[in-house]
Structures are given as structure tokens and as C-alpha cells.
Chain A
Amino acid sequence: MTTPSNERLRTPLAVTLSVWNALFLREAVTRLSSGRGAAVWLLGEPILNVAVMLVIFTVIRMKVVSGIDVLAWLIVGLTFISVYKRTSSQVQNAISANKTLFGYRQVKPIDTLLTRAFLEGFIALLVIIITSAGAIFLINVDLIPDDAGMMLSAFFGLWLMGLGYGMICSVTVELVPEFGKVIGLLGMPIYFTSGAIFPLHSIPQPYLGWVLYNPLAHGLEVARLGVSSYYHVVNGTNLTYLYQCALVSIFFGLALQIHFARRILIK
């Protein structure tokens, strides 16, 4: 149909791009202005996190982990695991937090998931750069990457994994709210077996093999190897495995989004 009005309608791509732009800016504003000193806490949280763990490691007198300084080991582990953690939890809550926006036909649930993931990835990258720079210049930790490309590929893999996992969770929590509790329970073992705060090389076989089913562990090990080529990665580390898991979960998450698109909007 070519009525004059149709010529003024925007293409679907133009609509989606303008929605992404608007959502991104809006999320950024809420993220940085909600609550007192929200922007300060973005940096304060990971720094405190590292400080607390450092105290524990000092108490048990650990100075070197697998060939690198314990502080470098901790900072990389904690900031990189939060790429995954923040992205997945922000994406998981995107639908319920943006319900009012689905009143505008242009905005689809998937738009809110993707923009949140992009914003969170962006924030996580900034946090990593700022905390690392701070640690390098203020307390002289050797965090200058030996292989920045390797760190970047670990970062990207962890971010994709967060997006995929968040996508799956957002649909399941939306349709079966009780599932939120199960996901909360799952978070703990996933975190512990990722090797962020607990060196994996001390785990004997066959248990280590089981732990390495956790794709996050591979990302963290490779990120540490990127910082220092002297780091002894855990046997069986394979970044491709992280990417495989991430892509499968994104595919699965998208399929759920498409399949339940109507149900999500109706609810």
C-alpha cells in the first residue's frame, strides 16, 4: 500500500536504532544518578572488593599465586568476573525494570536487554581500566598487560557469556518468578568455581575437570595470562570453550525471547 502517510513512516531499522540510542542514554542517566554517589560506587565497589580479599590473603600469607603477584591475580580476577556478573544481572532485570516502556510500540523487550548489556560492558571496561591504572601508579602492581589482545578476548568472552546467561534468565524469571530464587542459588557455586577468589591450581583431579565445566574459569585464567606471560594457567584452560558456551547461550536466549515475545508483553 502506498498511501502518502506510508512514505513518512520510518524503516524498522531506523526505529530500532533510535530506540537503542534513546534507551542507552536513558539507562546511563539512571545508572549514574540513581541513589547518592551512584557513580562513585561504580568504582568504589570493586576497589573495596579487592581490599577485603587482599586482607584475607594477607592473613593466610599468600604472596604469589601461580607465578604472579597476589594483588595482580586478585584485581584481574575480581574485575573480570564482574564483567560477567554485572552484565548478566543487569540484563536479567532489564524487562521488569523497563515494563512501563513497552507501552510505546517502538520499544521491544529485546531492545532493553541489548542496550543494558552494551552499557554494562562499557562501564565494566572503564572500571577495569581505571582500577588497573590506579593500582599500577599508586601501589606499583605489575598490571601492564603482556598481551592486551588476550585480555580483550577474555573480556569479550565473559561479556558475551553474561549477555547470554542474562537473556535466558530474564525470560525464565519473567514467566516463572520462582526461578529467580534458583538462579540466585546457582550464582554462588558459579562464582566460587570461576577461580576469581580461589586459586584453581590447588584443586586435584578429577575435581578440577569438573570445575572447568564452568566457562567463566577459562576466561579468568586467560585474562591473567594476558597480564603476565609468567602466569601458570590451569591445565585444560581453553578460551574457545568460553566462546562456545557464550554463543550457545545467546542463541538459546534469543530463541526464548522470540518464542515468548508475546507472553512477555501480555504479562
Chain B
Amino acid sequence: MIIVENISKRYQTDHGPGKWVLEDVSFVIPRNVSVGIVGGNGAGKSTLLRIIGGVDQPSRGRIERHCRMSWPIGSANMQPSLTGRQNAKFLCRIHGHEDDIPERLAFIQDFAEIGSLFDEPVRTYSPGMKSRLQFGISLAFKFEVYISDEATSAGDASFRQKASDAFKNMVGQASLIMAAHGEGALKEFCTSGIFINKGRAVWFDALDDALSAYKDSIKK
């Protein structure tokens, strides 16, 4: 369960505080419910995901996470000068998996399909390569909630298929919070929706209602 309470967010600009990106957002995501976040470009979808994932802090309000939650997959938080393997090891350690690092590394290398590049510095990777590695690492840990910011759109067609299969296999064990522009991906994985518009976020038990609210707002 994830409780988001009265969260507001604005970014600091060079000319003082910027305008509110999110204003007084509250909702509760129950256990085992996958949520799609919909809204136009710049509505605050990524900001909300980053705050839920703990990458960014809200300016006001608080958030409680009663689960094991991933970082937003797809935003590559890796040290460019270290190799993929070293980065993966580091993540195994901070997630408390010191004892079975070799197995997890093997899984990651295999899933990300990066072969010998695994031992090259991350700065030499292509963006697709990097997100495949990120995706592989996040699957190596059994999170209960995965946060995905267009993660399924990373890599080529065959990897996208693999990624979406991996997500499908987890149904029942893990849930997803995702932002995507493709309606198909959202409908495939999510049952509920959050619609973000003008800094406000509205919770919908059914994803279809969120999507139609989004469509209505475009028509106006």
C-alpha cells in the first residue's frame, strides 16, 4: 500500500521558486493494484513517479510506502565510469543481497543481453543498452511494486516484447505504477488510473474512466 498525502511540488529555478507542478495531490494505491498515470506532456507524470519512487522529494506533503518498491525503471542512475557489473553489484549490495551476488549478476547479464559489454564502463553504452541494463537489474530483485516511466519502450522490438512478457509473468506477485503515452501498454497492465491535469491528480478505480477523462480534457 502506498499513501500519498497532500503532496505539492515545485522546482527551484534560477529566479526563485518556479510554478507548482503538482498541487495538493492525495491518493492511496491499494496492494496489488496496478496503476496507469495519464496526462499531457508536462502535466507532471514523471514528477509524480519520481516522488513516489523517492528519487525526488515533494516540496510539501508526505508519502508512506508499505512495500518493497523499485526505483523508476528507465531513469539510469548509474556511475558512468564504473562498469555495468560494478554498478549492478552496488545495487545488489544496497538492496541487501550480499550473499547471492553471482547468481543475480548472471541473471542481469543474461536478461539485458549485453554480453561482454557488462565489463565495460557504463559511459560507453548506448541509451538503449543502458535502459536494458537498468531493466534487467530491477527484475533481479523481487520488488512488490515496480515504477515504470515508459520503461517498456526501451530497446528494440524484441527486447520490448521480452520486457512486456516479464511484466506479464509477474502479475499476481507484483504490481506496476506506470506512465506511458501508448494506451495499449496501459490497458495491458493496469486496472486503475490517475489522471493529472493542471497540477491536480484524480484517482479512478477503473483505468478506462481515467483515459476518458483525459480525452475529454483534450477535446475542450
Which residues of chain A have a CB within 8 Å of any CB of chain B? 1, 3, 5-6, 8-10, 14-15, 18-19, 21-22, 25-26, 29-30, 34, 100-107, 262, 265-267
Contacts and interface: CB of A to CB of B under 8 A. Distances in A.
Given A3-B31, A6-B66, A104-B71, A30 B95 contact: no
Given A9-B68, A14-B96, A26 B56 contact: no
B57 interface: yes
B94 A18 contact: yes
B90 A22 contact: yes
Contact of A19 (B1, B57, B94): B94
Interface in B60-91: 66-69, 71-72, 75, 77-79, 81-82, 86, 89-91
Contacts, number: 73
Contact of B93 (A6, A8, A10, A18): A18
Q: Which 10 A-B pairs have the closest CB atoms?
A: A22-B93, A103-B77, A105-B54, A103-B55, A106-B94, A100-B77, A22-B94, A18-B96, A265-B57, A19-B94
Interface of B: 1, 12, 31, 53-57, 59, 66-69, 71-72, 75, 77-79, 81-82, 86, 89-91, 93-96, 98, 144
A3 B145 CA distance: 15
B172 to A, nearest CB: 14
A26 B91 contact: no
Contacts of A14: 96
A30 B66 contact: no
A50 B162 CA distance: 59
Contacts of A262: 57
A64 B71 CA distance: 61
B79 A104 contact: no
Given A25-B89, A101-B77, 6 more contacts: A14-B96, A18-B93, A18-B94, A21-B98, A100-B78, A105-B55
Contacts of B79: 26, 30, 100-101
A29 B71 contact: no
A9 B59 CA distance: 27
Q: Label chain A's interface by main secondary structure.
A: helix
B77 A1 contact: no
A103 B69 CA distance: 13
15 contacts: A3-B66, A8-B68, A15-B94, A15-B96, A19-B93, A21-B93, A26-B79, A100-B78, A103-B55, A103-B72, A103-B75, A104-B94, A105-B69, A106-B94, A266-B12
Given A8-B68, A34-B81, A105-B71, A266 B95 contact: no
A5 B95 CA distance: 15
A18 B12 contact: no
A22 B94 CA distance: 6
Contacts of B82: 26, 29-30
B86 A26 contact: yes
A63 B69 CA distance: 65
Nearest to A102: B55
B59 to A, nearest CB: 8
A188 to B, nearest CB: 30
A30 to B, nearest CB: 7
Contacts of A29: 82, 86
Given A26-B79, A29-B82, A100-B78, A3 B1 contact: yes
